[in-house]
Structure 1
């Protein structure tokens, strides 16, 4: 069942993951209360999206083992949203074109001679290859009355996902099959990679004019903005806010209190006979106690525990935000890894733990009497993966198995037949081989995190509340300065952001920002981690082409370069007047001439400088022995003279060039199709009012 559910979740996340989809930017807190969005008039129900988001989150937990932080949650939500939108956009095109997967084709994908790769990966034999008999056995089981209803539903959902993916493949095949590379494309590509240009250039760097000497005017900004307006298209509404934060970190009294709390535990910790239970009751961090070798403990313990006596107490000490005390429970010299095999018996099906232990003892006697361990494992072990291999678990190091089993097998001698009970059942096991030898210690650690007390939090909150109470529409900056508090900024935040620079958990602040007007300050004190925050909305950038005012600060460096370029171009133009060669131009302009050999159009880099697309492009469109006009490049303003071209051998067979270009087009086609569908789509994103 676990495998089938994993398949369903995995396939649900397959498909074509789009980049950020165009979002509306209208008010996020009005309108439909049940639909989280809309694509070309098709509504997205909050319940449907929420279900997919839950599947994505569960899959992430299973695969990564990480905790779900606000940043991770935001990433999962964004990925799931984009995948959901992409499916809707593609499915609309698929339905419009009448693309289907017929019954015979579906059957072939599931149980034909060459089933879908997703199915093949789930039904493998002992050799790791697809096992058709296992698939057939499973399909037959689904047809019986004994078939689990949930498992059957999961399988049907999985098949539906396979069919959807197949339709998407067909749609993309229609697009890619229409791609064509002609002989002229191949010839141009060949020349771009093989035609060589030899030229001399002189350059006046932008850095030669100090920034302080450039005074930018409104006309300078307008000229640049109007020439690059389409570059400032905002795909989604963004907002910026400034904020004051009051730090509620633990005080000296808080620190002393937590340390004293840990110190009180030392005596009882030293005296207890049940260290594991003591840790479970008193420690913030729960966990099984396992043997570890040098280098696996945190540094403070690693330096003392391997030379200490059993029962030694270390601490209290401070580490990773907590006060801790550690106890050496045991130390021993043992193998680093072992090769072992086992037979696993299920107490539930045997009628209880006692009967399972009795069965393990009976199997043990059979093996001791000469019966094959491997044969009995295949016959009796409920761990089918190892059972089919004679119970073989392979070679593994300490910590690879659950603690109870780990302790047992690493304490056993090679050849011994022993029994241990874990949460999985009763194991009859045998260590076949031991490798390596190191000293290992078992350490119990009790920790108490250092957090601010309610008294500390209340005091800091009161300061933040007093600051908020002192504000009016016009005095935010003045009050911050009076309180000697730095004004921090969160710029260009989108509506579903969970964190911003400086604030790990900022979701409530972001929600407030998208309900407010420019200049508003927050109507409450927000808690974010150990900080209390008061914010003011400083900017709103609507969806669409941004105004000059919105991008003025952003484009300032480029505008300054543009003004410098005009001045340097004028300087070169004066030097060009009356000059007959590049050396004369450089001498008059106060620059130097640099010769370049064997430059190709496909790699427009000037050695020692940077990629200069405009300069190299102009070179390849020039005639030899003519001075160019000033060209404003990336690093400065250039003037060049072309010496010669070296043409490659005639292209007689363009098949390879066509294939290379076609491959590049094929790789880009999927993203290009999705971009085109997104640009055309009318998408409304209401996630901000739900999430």
Structure 2
């Protein structure tokens, strides 16, 4: 005892250390991630190379911004998920290609780079950016831009953007060289060309008799473990899972606004309507009180939502319409102004960067100076080429073309549509300071400026608390096996979400479902959720039903999925035996059909390259077998897609001899080359060692 007392401190320290190490090891095994792997900030590892989340997120932000600018759409969970997948596939493809490119030592030399950018035949992407009035590439505009990029006046942001663009061009060129090596290494010989020509032109006439799978009722088929094992082993290659998938079932409790909630919001909007009518600053009123703080702009007939479009063009200034219910919100609208204005405007502008000019006041002063130069006879187009930071229009002398209402930001639109042809105006927008020259205005129609205040229908805290309490009660009633019975007791339909990926942002029936997905990928099969999830206006309780790991899926995971195919295979074997019995001793196809209780169907001019039974479906096994048979010989049963067949070939019709092997080889080579890029990437992905950690960041 004295020995133990003297050494108890060391013993406890060792014991605690071992226990802590065991805990850490257990966590590593459970989570599948190592504390020592250094992937805390990595979004993935591709063939051992870490991909920092910061790099992935920067590319994702760029893709999101481009999508927003090009489409004008809001980024919904579905769009966000699409952009994440697209960005990930771009990064993965680029890394895999770069590995091969570096391994082969492919480069783009300085002379080649210069030729791509400023040579006599620059890269097509560059040519598209520098076109003349005739729509064709203008070398002088490119040279002018390159001189500007090298001058002290060049905008640092533009210089950086151009540098990144050139880097991407060079990387793209390397990828083109790699793909060229692959495609140029593909060869179609004369025998392959002859086979392809024959397959597309040789015809066959034959007769068949068939027993349909539908002739055997499903109730007569009792599937055994051997049936499942046989089918699974024959098709095991089809069950390879590229990434882990999980399925869960869930019940949802609707927390949508109740009738009292709707009445309370309407009463709030009713009060606002009186204040709105008396307001003298409608723009400020919208900014303070509206949920959607849209700028006030003139709009023509058809641009307002239908309820407003039908009343505002005949109303008097100051007219207030509403409250009315629209798209889940109560709204009130006020006619701020109406006038007759042009339908479209042709204009030029010179855009000045406020920061680069040393502040807003200096930018406005410079714009005023440029305005005086134009009024004094200087060419607006020449000044735009030198001073405008909007290089796309600047290279065209500031020309923005002809545009209608809604194409420009509100400040710019007000200036050009409320002015008159020939006006020079200096205005400020979120992009900087503009000097605008209105060239012409076309058309004439009535336009209105309508201010809208909206209040969305949202559930009150009492509604939310009441529904959440019901969901919590349901959750507390669950044990390991009673999810289905408790849902039935509560009269709640069980919904299923199958084969969800770890990075899924939404699932059918639930948007913004990341919390549920994250839980599913940390749970075990049969677990129900440890909390009630708030997803939009739904409260969700879920249970994990299956886990499909990456790799070849075991039979028990795919058993339910393959049941229809297994049943069809068993039917096929039974019908094959029946047809074989009918064929034994038969003198021809007509006698086989008579004994089997089926009919004979003649087919004419069937081609191997299009193995479709007219009026039925593609039958690859049947047509392949037919083209490998001898005429006037009764076949063995062939188990196909629609049923089981026995056939006899009447005749083959051979095509004219192939006289132009070169052309046939070229056509076949082109078809192979078109598929090669995608197939190469698929092969590289299949071979690569990819560890995807995106789920922990999303």
Q: Out of 635, 639, 643, which is 2:642 matched to?
A: 635
- 2:6 corresponding residue in structure 1: none
Question: 2: distance between equivalents of 1:104 and 1:390?
Answer: 32
Structure 1 residues 385 and 42, CA gap change in structure 2 (3 angstroms) = closer
Q: How does 1:170-569 map to 2 (within 5 A)?
A: 170-338=177-345, 340-342=346-348, 344=350, 362=372, 392-412=399-419, 415=421, 417=423, 419=425, 421-423=427-429, 424-425=432-433, 427=435, 429-430=437-438, 432-435=440-443, 437-569=444-576
Q: Out of 587, 608, 618, which is 1:611 matched to?
A: 618
CA deviations 1:207-250 (Å, max 9, x no partner) are: 22333333322222222112111111111111111222221111
- The 8 Å contact of residues 347 and 402 in structure 2, kept in 1 or not, is answered as no
Deviation at 1:573, TM superposition (A): 1.9
CA deviations 1:103-123 (Å, max 9, x no partner) are: 332333333333333333344
Once the two structures are overlaid, the 10-residue window that deviates more, 115-124 or 495-504, is 115-124
- 1:589 corresponding residue in structure 2: 596
- The 8 Å contact of residues 371 and 435 in structure 2, kept in 1 or not, is answered as no
Deviation at 1:134, TM superposition (A): 4.1
- 2:76 corresponding residue in structure 1: 69
Structure 1 residues 639 and 523, CA gap change in structure 2 (3 angstroms) = same
- The 8 Å contact of residues 199 and 609 in structure 2, kept in 1 or not, is answered as yes
- The 8 Å contact of residues 199 and 642 in structure 1, kept in 2 or not, is answered as yes
- 2:577 corresponding residue in structure 1: 570
TM-score, normalised on structure 2? 0.87
Question: 2: distance between equivalents of 1:148 and 1:313?
Answer: 48
- 1:55 corresponding residue in structure 2: 62
Once the two structures are overlaid, the 10-residue window that deviates more, 119-128 or 218-227, is 119-128
Question: For structure 2, which runs of at least 5 residues remain unmatched after alignment?
Answer: 1-28
Question: 2: distance between equivalents of 1:274 and 1:485?
Answer: 50
Once the two structures are overlaid, the 10-residue window that deviates more, 604-613 or 214-223, is 214-223
Structure 1 residues 212 and 648, CA gap change in structure 2 (3 angstroms) = same
- The 8 Å contact of residues 302 and 309 in structure 2, kept in 1 or not, is answered as yes
Deviation at 1:380, TM superposition (A): 8.3
Aligned Cα RMSD in Å? 3.0
Once the two structures are overlaid, the 10-residue window that deviates more, 524-533 or 383-392, is 383-392
Deviation at 1:164, TM superposition (A): 2.3
Deviation at 1:560, TM superposition (A): 1.8
Secondary structure of the structure 2 residue equivalent to 1:121: helix
Structure 1 residues 517 and 305, CA gap change in structure 2 (3 angstroms) = same
- 1:649 corresponding residue in structure 2: 656
Structure 1 residues 178 and 306, CA gap change in structure 2 (3 angstroms) = same
CA deviations 1:457-497 (Å, max 9, x no partner) are: 22222222222222222332232222222222211111111
Question: For structure 1, which runs of at least 5 residues remain unmatched after alignment?
Answer: 1-24
Once the two structures are overlaid, the 10-residue window that deviates more, 605-614 or 272-281, is 272-281
Deviation at 1:534, TM superposition (A): 1.6
Secondary structure of the structure 2 residue equivalent to 1:315: strand
Secondary structure of the structure 2 residue equivalent to 1:38: strand
Deviation at 1:663, TM superposition (A): 0.5
- The 8 Å contact of residues 353 and 389 in structure 2, kept in 1 or not, is answered as no
- 1:21 corresponding residue in structure 2: none
Q: Out of 43, 46, 54, which is 2:53 matched to?
A: 46
Question: 2: distance between equivalents of 1:473 and 1:586?
Answer: 56
- The 8 Å contact of residues 347 and 356 in structure 1, kept in 2 or not, is answered as no
Question: 2: distance between equivalents of 1:513 and 1:378?
Answer: 57
Deviation at 1:550, TM superposition (A): 0.5
- The 8 Å contact of residues 208 and 646 in structure 2, kept in 1 or not, is answered as yes
CA deviations 1:403-447 (Å, max 9, x no partner) are: 34434444456x564646342545454453523x44433322111
Question: 1: distance between equivalents of 2:237 and 2:484?
Answer: 35
Once the two structures are overlaid, the 10-residue window that deviates more, 109-118 or 543-552, is 109-118
Structure 1 residues 459 and 173, CA gap change in structure 2 (3 angstroms) = same
- The 8 Å contact of residues 347 and 426 in structure 1, kept in 2 or not, is answered as no
- The 8 Å contact of residues 329 and 441 in structure 1, kept in 2 or not, is answered as yes
Question: 1: distance between equivalents of 2:31 and 2:351?
Answer: 60
Once the two structures are overlaid, the 10-residue window that deviates more, 27-36 or 203-212, is 27-36
TM-score, normalised on structure 1? 0.88
Once the two structures are overlaid, the 10-residue window that deviates more, 188-197 or 449-458, is 449-458
Deviation at 1:300, TM superposition (A): 2.0
Q: Out of 606, 609, 612, which is 1:602 matched to?
A: 609
Secondary structure of the structure 2 residue equivalent to 1:48: helix
- The 8 Å contact of residues 210 and 645 in structure 2, kept in 1 or not, is answered as yes
Structure 1 residues 585 and 354, CA gap change in structure 2 (3 angstroms) = closer
CA deviations 1:30-51 (Å, max 9, x no partner) are: 4432333222222323333333
Once the two structures are overlaid, the 10-residue window that deviates more, 616-625 or 580-589, is 580-589
- The 8 Å contact of residues 316 and 325 in structure 1, kept in 2 or not, is answered as yes
